[in-house]
Amino acid sequence: MADELPFKKTMQFAYGEPRELAEGVVRIVANNPSPFTYKGSNTYVVGTGNELAVIDPGPADDAHIEAILRYVGTRKVSHVLITHTHRDHTDGMPALLAATGARTAGYGRRIERRGTKGTSPSGSEFVDKDFVPDVPLVDGDVLEGDGWSLTALFTPGHAPDHLCFALGDKGVLFSGDHVMGWNTSVVAPPEGNMGDYIRALDKLQGRPDKVFMPGHGGRVEEPARLVKAFLLHRRMREQAILDCIRNGKNRVRDIVPVIYKDLDPRLVNAASLSVLAHVEHLTERGLLQPTAEPLSADLPLSPF
Ligand SMILES: [Zn+2]
Between the CA of 129 and the centroid of ligand 1 the distance, in Å, is 15
What pLDDT score was predicted for residue 295? 60
Q: From residue 142, give the alpha-carbon distance in Å to each of 164, 167, 173, 205, 265.
A: 12, 10, 13, 20, 42
Amino acid at 17: E
Can you give the pLDDT at residue 258? 93
CA of 181 to the centre of ligand 1 (A): 13
* pLDDT for the residue numbered 59: 96
Given this model, what pLDDT does residue 173 score? 98
CA distances (Å), 189 to each of 42, 43, 274, in order? 24, 26, 8
| Residue 300 burial (CB count, 10 A) | 11
- Distance, CA of 40 to CA of 43 (rounded, Å): 10
- pLDDT confidence of residue 293: 63
CATH class of the region 19-221: alpha beta
299 and 251 Cβ atoms separated by less than 8 Å: yes
Phi, psi of 301 (to 5 degrees): -115, 145
Please tell me the distance between residue 216's alpha carbon and the centre of ligand 1 in angstroms. Answer: 7
SS3 category, 205:
coil
Q: Which pLDDT does position 196 carry in this prediction? A: 97
Distance 159 CA to ligand 1 centre (A): 10
Cα–Cα distance list, 257 to 4, 97, 238, 240 (Å): 17, 44, 15, 12
Q: Distance, CA 288 to ligand 1 centroid (Å)? A: 31
- Over its length of 304 residues, how does the chain's per-residue pLDDT go in tens digits? 445 788 888 899 999 999 999 999 999 999 999 988 999 999 999 999 999 999 999 999 999 999 999 999 999 999 999 999 999 999 999 999 999 999 999 998 875 545 444 445 554 457 887 889 999 999 999 999 999 999 999 999 999 999 999 999 999 999 999 999 998 899 998 889 999 999 999 999 989 999 999 999 999 999 999 999 999 999 999 999 999 998 988 888 899 999 998 888 888 888 999 999 999 999 999 998 877 665 666 667 776 6
| Contact (CB, 8 A) for 219 and 213 | yes
pLDDT at 116: 45
What are the residue boundaries of the structural domains of the chain, listed by start? Answer: 19-221
DSSP string, 115-165: --GGG-TTSS--B-TT---SEE--TT-EEE-SS-EEEEEE--SSSTT-EEE
Residue 119, pLDDT score: 47
Q: What is the pLDDT of residue 115?
A: 47
With a CB cutoff of 8 Å and minimum separation 6, the contacts of 3 are 232, 233, 236, 237
The reply to whether omega before 190 is within 30° of 0 (cis) is yes
Q: What is the pLDDT of residue 292?
A: 60
Amino acid at 188: A
83 CA to centre of ligand 1 in angstroms: 9
- pTM of this prediction? 0.92
Q: In the 8-state DSSP scheme, what is residue 226? A: H
